[in-house]
Chain A
Amino acid sequence: MRQFFLDIVTGQRSRQGLWVLPLLMALAIVAFLTVRTGHMLRPDNLLNLLAQAMPLIITAIGQTFVVLVGGLDLSVGALISFSTAILALGGPAWILIPAVFLLAGLVGLINGVAVARLNVHPIIATLAMQYIIVGVTLVLRPVAGGSVPRVVIESVGGTFLGLPMQVYWGVVVVLVAWKLLHGSRFGLHLFAIGGGVASGAEDAAHNVGVAVKRNVIFAYVASACFAAAAGIFLAGRIVSGDPTVGNGYEIYAITAVAVGGTQLSGGIGSLHGTIIGAMVLALLSNGMTLLNVSPFVQTAIQGGILLLVVAMQTRRKMGL
């Protein structure tokens, strides 16, 4: 019994990574904020928190796919801005939304082909892609503005059947991601490929007939499509196309993934871990707001707590 709990806490005998500690940390932050401010658990704050965290949650979930195969996707931030720019071009939603996913899918495909078939390091491939997308976005929309389809705005700010739309977004995104990651062959194969990369048995999955390259490409496509979804959500929230709105999301997404216990060397991690990781980051930010901490000390405190969370996530092997 003791061993059972020890295993869960240390993330051993499982490939889900060290997600329990950040969960405890998140709960501790919630408890602290509830006691200190009283606002924390109020529905309006919870919804606000969820809305604020949603783009990061979605992006980070996408990032999880590529991290699991031992890669990284630095182009997601630019892709978010790009998606908002496309949506704000003006036009019917039924054309714009599929267009966003199509273009994002194409970007993911290029990233994936560069990494899997052309042997380019993921950091280089996706960083180069980031530059390219930033440039294209600046052409499309040199400054924030444009008109976002009503449907998109309502799908973010409105309510349906008495529940705020954010809740539906959360449910849909999580269901899709869960199905892909934990409920299909594709997900299992991503773990297999990543496990091979992390342990140096790169050929193992290939040798038993897993379509390694194709799956890695799909992982990048998935990451790009989730980023596009995050872009759609953000466009609805800021009601415009904005060439800078996605700035920095790639780093936050990678941070969320890692805080959630997913190992950046590949093969170990989970969807719930990523969600927890993103929530920890969102709570840090929300907590500062609730406690009305001076902006001059916020960064230091956030960094400190982040370090605390990370310091507890001791793993068996060294690595990224």
Chain B
Amino acid sequence: MTGMLRSPVVQRLLKVPPSYVVFALLLAILWSARPNMVNFNVMGIFIRQVAPLGILVLGQLLVMRVRSIDLSGGGVILLVNYFIASGTFPGARLPFFIALAIVIGTLVGFFNGWMVAKRRVSAVIVTLAVSIILIGIVQFLAGGSPPGDVPAYFGEIYNTRLGSVPTPVLFWFGMAALMWLFLSRTIFGRFVTAVGENAEAAYFSGVPVERTVILSHTIAGLIAGIAALVQTASISVGSVRVGLDLPIVAVAATILGGVAFGRGDGGVWGPTFGVLSFALLFVVMTVFGLPEPGKQIAQGVIILLAAVLYGVRTAKAN
């Protein structure tokens, strides 16, 4: 019995992040209630709905693995969205906007990383303050010129498919695979693990700790810029406000996926399934026509139960 418990397969199974469990459960519920919806075409569209969040989470999990956090994603998305929707850059075309989003994201990420790693300030507050500033910049600009429509080609690209899979979904999964390879195969991935586990020990092992943190934040910023492009493509209008819940939801999806501050048990796919779970949760609740309060309560209870299950299992395993 104990021997079986110690077998690597069982150990791994015990550590399956809650996101997979929730996802499987919801899929089963949906399948029994609306079998016709469980197919590639329909699911593709549901998954596309959370592609921006899914992409954002790829950056979030990276910074969380080095014991940091990035709450500035919302601000980056809002600013990029504003620039695209406001006509601030007359005559600009897609390549320009892509470059702009990447530059904004990377700069913001680098700044975050620099403040966290070099200045050693609180990651929560610095990224929150950066987000507030970015939102503030949009509000300032919008005071002079409120945003309007997003150019039509964004929506057109967003609606394309490859085979039966929507392009944004493919793009997201492609990025996730890239991140997975990046973390599991490269030296940088080792550094991330080292810094997350024990920054001091990482330093004495010759790991460039500050550089790793800065780079993680910079990549997270870049990813936020890309998420901003996808988010903008998914909506055809500009806005002046962004929910503070976006980064928090990203953090929650990451943790449900088994990645916590300094720990990376869920890899890249755990958090990705965390996002997919949120997508399915929304679909299932909408399909069942739950009233809003019921939706909120059900959402809370499901997340809590899944986390409790996981928590109790990991506590036993240790």
Contact = CB atoms under 8 A, between A and B. Distances in A.
> Touching in the complex, A and B, CB below 8 A?
yes
B194 interface: no
A307 B128 CA distance: 9
B121 A311 contact: yes
A13 interface: no
A311 B115 contact: yes
B67 A319 contact: yes
Greatest chain A CB density within 10 A among B120, B143, B199, B307 is at B307
A124 B299 CA distance: 12
Contacts of A130: 300
Interface in A228-278: 248, 251, 254-255, 258-259, 263-264
Interface string B284-312: 00000000111111111101100110111
B255 A124 contact: yes
B136 interface: yes
Contacts of B314: 119
Interface of B is mostly: helix
Contacts, number: 176
A138 B244 contact: no
A121 B258 CA distance: 10
Contacts of B142: 296
A171 interface: no
B176 interface: no
B129 A139 contact: no
B136 A128 contact: no
Contacts of A255: 124-125, 128
Interface string B219-252: 0000000000000000000000000100010011
A138 to B, nearest CB: 4
B119 interface: yes
Contacts of A264: 122, 124
A128 B122 contact: no
B107 to A, nearest CB: 15
B125 A306 contact: yes
Contact of A258 (B122, B139, B248, B301): B122
Interface in B118-137: 119-126, 128-137
A299 interface: yes
Given A131-B299, A300-B133, A320-B68, A314 B312 contact: no
Contact of B293 (A138, A263, A311): A138
A147 interface: no
B160 interface: no
B274 to A, nearest CB: 10
Contact of A120 (B116, B125, B143, B311): B311
Nearest to A139: B293
Given A121-B260, A310-B122, A318-B199, A299 B304 contact: no
Central interface residue in B135, B260, B303, B312, by most chain A CB within 10 Å: B303
B252 A311 contact: no
B132 A128 contact: no
Contacts of A74: 248
A281 B103 CA distance: 31
B85 interface: no
B308 A114 contact: yes
Contacts of A248: 244
Instruction: Give the contact-size bracket for chain B.
Output: 35 or more
B123 A320 contact: yes
A300 B312 contact: no
A183 interface: no
A313 B248 contact: no
Nearest to B69: A320
B261 interface: yes
B140 interface: yes
Nearest to A300: B136
A208 to B, nearest CB: 21
A124 B129 contact: no
A104 interface: no
B307 A310 contact: no
Given A120-B311, A251-B244, A301 B136 contact: yes
Interface in A116-133: 118-121, 123-125, 127-133
A40 to B, nearest CB: 23
B206 to A, nearest CB: 18
B308 A120 contact: yes
A135 B300 contact: yes
B126 A307 contact: yes
A139 to B, nearest CB: 5
A206 to B, nearest CB: 14
A249 to B, nearest CB: 11
A124 B116 CA distance: 24
A36 B234 CA distance: 46
B297 to A, nearest CB: 4
Contacts of A315: 120-122
Interface of B: 67-69, 115-117, 119-126, 128-137, 139-140, 142-144, 198-199, 209, 213, 244, 248, 251-252, 255-256, 260-261, 292-301, 303-304, 307-308, 310-312, 314-315
30 contacts: A74-B248, A120-B307, A120-B310, A121-B307, A124-B303, A127-B252, A128-B300, A129-B304, A132-B297, A138-B292, A138-B293, A248-B244, A251-B128, A255-B124, A255-B128, A258-B122, A299-B136, A299-B140, A300-B140, A303-B130, A303-B131, A304-B133, A306-B128, A311-B115, A313-B121, A313-B122, A317-B120, A317-B199, A320-B69, A320-B124
Closest 5 CB pairs of A and B: A300-B136, A296-B143, A131-B300, A135-B296, A119-B311
